[in-house]
A and B are shown apart, each in its own frame.
Chain A
């Protein structure tokens, strides 16, 4: 843990991503770590270009423009992500919904999607996690044994067995640390109702269509970053009471759920 990691940063998905890498073999020098870090950041930028609903050149923008009228063919990578989103929606009783309750039809036979009228896809709740998971694949392909990838400070993925200490920040008072966790071979996703400078939340309860309120924050540890994003977004939209009931019904898995409202508490510990 004493070795200073190689670091590279990139602006994407309207925020900043950091890649920290440590090579364990003498053969894997800084030249290799830089090449891998660049490959990761370029992959994140590529995914931003495909997934952003704000960039009119993106695939998601094309779907949002065209798919209300007919089924639109999408590439297999994106279709697989949309299927993951649909599984997430079903898993969370509709509380994770990238169409914000609008609805869609997915056709696996030809990888196409049709949106319900006035429905739009917003992958803001999952895109960063998906990008981090793709980053982990690159680290593995190129034999980087230890790395920490983060996007927007709300999505973090530790790759490898090495332990990375992570502070958890108060949702409305960023300088206040409310806890620390040690992350190894695991992902962390944080969702809060709003940032300190925001008046209303940009997270919508898909069942009511209304912005959520309060001052809660939800912290999810999961094996992969995509899953962590689905849970943190859905549980926050549920609110503490419904989230607690939901978690009581949920089969024991790898996930660990933390909640902050007035105090920090673990809603679900890892087995």
Chain B
């Protein structure tokens, strides 16, 4: 007799078997939607991963599709319409690298088609879309990962563990920036006099127009604010930000510089809350500080880039200074506590106070390839616990969009409920 209980158990076994079949040794059939610059990076990386069969690439801009097809190889079919791709090939997994305003629709359609989804950052163009997508992902039980690749970087993983272990004490501040010096403008293949220029300009330079883009915060800041969320173990409580178009007045609609002050409310060891402030800036006309995060704690600071991780210890009483070691109990009560002589001069190097750093000595691996290896691994095992799941993506999306909202509204903006 089959009771309801045994039926459910049987059904459970059947489900497990089908997922194991999916997880077998056959290659994972992957399609890439969006084959511009970032999509091409992802295609190249996918073709180096064992167990991946790149079955198709898709883009509605012919030169990008041609480029993607070249990197993907002759076995990959080409599509202009991603819905047709989903219908015809039913890929097991899709990798999506389309302009931000299309993220929600493409990802939602792929999930509806039963695909596991890797979606480039920022997860969605609006918080409302990000919330809807979160509901859909959770209900679909599909494998879903957002392309915040610092989560796959060995240096950041190590640094996060160091912060969690208390190696830099209590985190008191994070200062991060992505500073570059170029117009952020992609070349357009026809001159401005050409009738097709306005269309191609908006298509290729979609990052510069508000209808398609959320500007610097979405394209750059999302990576770094994710580091703050990750390291501080939550999301900001509120933000105040200022930005504008001050230098590249070339018809663009998104800011060419932005400065944000975020507040995170954390619980102290004694249960008393305290606030950590995160300063984030992005510039398009000075590259001095480049792209980096500085996580500052009471015992030390971590300077992080995707290629370098440095730990600077705070100078404290345990450091022997040039005027003598006052902490050492003197064996001889008459021993001098200061050795006098010619004036000892401190270095005039403005950075000398930082001292020599310890280096996080793990730099093997490539963020983009490693995040895809992790995704494919989850797809193969049908494991929903990806390195950057939909909830991380949602929090990151809300975090960066509240800064843009603050610039527009001109005041503090709270994290959306």
B47 contacts across to A, CB distance below 8 A: 73, 75-76, 111
Chain B, residue nearest A63 (CB): B48
Task: Tell me whether B50 and A77 are in contact (CB under 8 A).
Answer: no
A55 to B366, CA, bound (A): 10
* Residue B63 is within 8 A (CB to CB) of chain A in the complex: yes
Task: Tell me whether B189 and A141 are in contact (CB under 8 A).
Answer: yes
Chain B, residue nearest A36 (CB): B187
Given the interface pairs A31-B250, A32-B188, A34-B182, the reply to whether A141 lies near B48 with Cβ below 8 Å is no
A38 to B94, CA, bound (A): 30
B385 contacts across to A, CB distance below 8 A: none
Given the interface pairs A25-B191, A57-B365, A141-B63, the reply to whether A73 lies near B44 with Cβ below 8 Å is no
C-beta contact mask, B9-48 vs A, less than 8 Å → 1, else 0? 0000000000000000000000000000000010111011
A79 to B35, CA, bound (A): 20
* Residue A58 is within 8 A (CB to CB) of chain B in the complex: yes
A31 contacts across to B, CB distance below 8 A: 183, 185, 250
CB of B284, distance to nearest CB on chain A (Å):
11
A41 to B191, CA, bound (A): 21
**Size of A's binding interface in residues, CB under 8 A:** 31
* Residue A268 is within 8 A (CB to CB) of chain B in the complex: no
Chain B, residue nearest A57 (CB): B366
**Size of B's binding interface in residues, CB under 8 A:** 33
CB of B356, distance to nearest CB on chain A (Å):
22
A72 to B49, CA, bound (A): 9
Task: Tell me whether A142 and B189 are in contact (CB under 8 A).
Answer: yes
* Residue B270 is within 8 A (CB to CB) of chain A in the complex: no
Task: Tell me whether A57 and B182 are in contact (CB under 8 A).
Answer: no
* Residue A1 is within 8 A (CB to CB) of chain B in the complex: no
A36 contacts across to B, CB distance below 8 A: 187
Query: Of B48, B188, B367, which contacts A73 at CB under 8 A?
Result: B48
A94 to B74, CA, bound (A): 31
Chain A, residue nearest B367 (CB): A57
A141 to B186, CA, bound (A): 12
* Residue A28 is within 8 A (CB to CB) of chain B in the complex: yes
* Residue B70 is within 8 A (CB to CB) of chain A in the complex: yes
Task: Tell me whether A58 and B182 are in contact (CB under 8 A).
Answer: no
B188 contacts across to A, CB distance below 8 A: 32, 35, 142
Query: Of A27, A35, A73, A111, which contacts B187 at CB under 8 A?
Result: A35
CB of A131, distance to nearest CB on chain B (Å):
16
Task: Tell me whether B71 and A142 are in contact (CB under 8 A).
Answer: no
Chain B, residue nearest A32 (CB): B187
A75 contacts across to B, CB distance below 8 A: 43-45, 47-48, 71
B246 contacts across to A, CB distance below 8 A: none
A260 to B47, CA, bound (A): 44
* Residue A81 is within 8 A (CB to CB) of chain B in the complex: no
Task: Tell me whether A27 and B191 are in contact (CB under 8 A).
Answer: yes
B191 contacts across to A, CB distance below 8 A: 25, 27-28, 32, 143
A142 to B192, CA, bound (A): 12
C-beta contact mask, A51-86 vs B, less than 8 Å → 1, else 0? 000011111011001000000111111000000000
A77 to B72, CA, bound (A): 10
* Residue A39 is within 8 A (CB to CB) of chain B in the complex: yes
B63 contacts across to A, CB distance below 8 A: 141
Total cross-chain contacts (CB, 8 A) = 77
Chain B, residue nearest A29 (CB): B192
Task: Tell me whether A38 and B183 are in contact (CB under 8 A).
Answer: yes
CB of B158, distance to nearest CB on chain A (Å):
14
Given the interface pairs A73-B48, A75-B48, the reply to whether A34 lies near B183 with Cβ below 8 Å is yes
Task: Tell me whether A35 and B183 are in contact (CB under 8 A).
Answer: yes
CB of A168, distance to nearest CB on chain B (Å):
32
Within 8 A of B (CB), among A7-33: 25, 27-29, 31-32
A72 to B47, CA, bound (A): 11
CB of A69, distance to nearest CB on chain B (Å):
13
Given the interface pairs A25-B191, A141-B189, A143-B189, the reply to whether A76 lies near B365 with Cβ below 8 Å is no
B190 contacts across to A, CB distance below 8 A: 143
A62 contacts across to B, CB distance below 8 A: 365-366
A203 to B307, CA, bound (A): 28
* Residue B193 is within 8 A (CB to CB) of chain A in the complex: yes
Chain A, residue nearest B362 (CB): A56
CB of A79, distance to nearest CB on chain B (Å):
9
A36 to B191, CA, bound (A): 13
Chain A, residue nearest B194 (CB): A27
A65 to B71, CA, bound (A): 23
A56 to B189, CA, bound (A): 35
Given the interface pairs A31-B250, A57-B365, A111-B47, the reply to whether A76 lies near B182 with Cβ below 8 Å is no
A55 contacts across to B, CB distance below 8 A: 307
A57 to B368, CA, bound (A): 10
CB of A147, distance to nearest CB on chain B (Å):
13
B364 contacts across to A, CB distance below 8 A: 56-57, 61, 65
A138 contacts across to B, CB distance below 8 A: 187
Chain A, residue nearest B74 (CB): A76
Task: Tell me whether B187 and A76 are in contact (CB under 8 A).
Answer: no
Chain A, residue nearest B49 (CB): A73
* Residue B245 is within 8 A (CB to CB) of chain A in the complex: no
CB of B95, distance to nearest CB on chain A (Å):
15
A32 to B193, CA, bound (A): 13
* Residue B363 is within 8 A (CB to CB) of chain A in the complex: yes
B48 contacts across to A, CB distance below 8 A: 59, 72-75
CB of A50, distance to nearest CB on chain B (Å):
8
Task: Tell me whether B185 and A35 are in contact (CB under 8 A).
Answer: yes
Within 8 A of A (CB), among B171-198: 182-183, 185-194
Chain B, residue nearest A139 (CB): B187
Known contacts A32-B187, A72-B48, A73-B50; 12 further A-B pairs (Cβ under 8 A) = A27-B192, A27-B194, A31-B183, A34-B183, A38-B182, A39-B187, A57-B306, A57-B365, A62-B366, A76-B47, A142-B187, A142-B189
Sampled A-B contacts (9; CB under 8 Å)? A31-B185, A32-B187, A32-B191, A34-B183, A38-B185, A39-B186, A57-B363, A74-B48, A76-B73
4 closest cross-chain pairs (CB), A and B: A27-B191, A75-B44, A35-B187, A142-B187
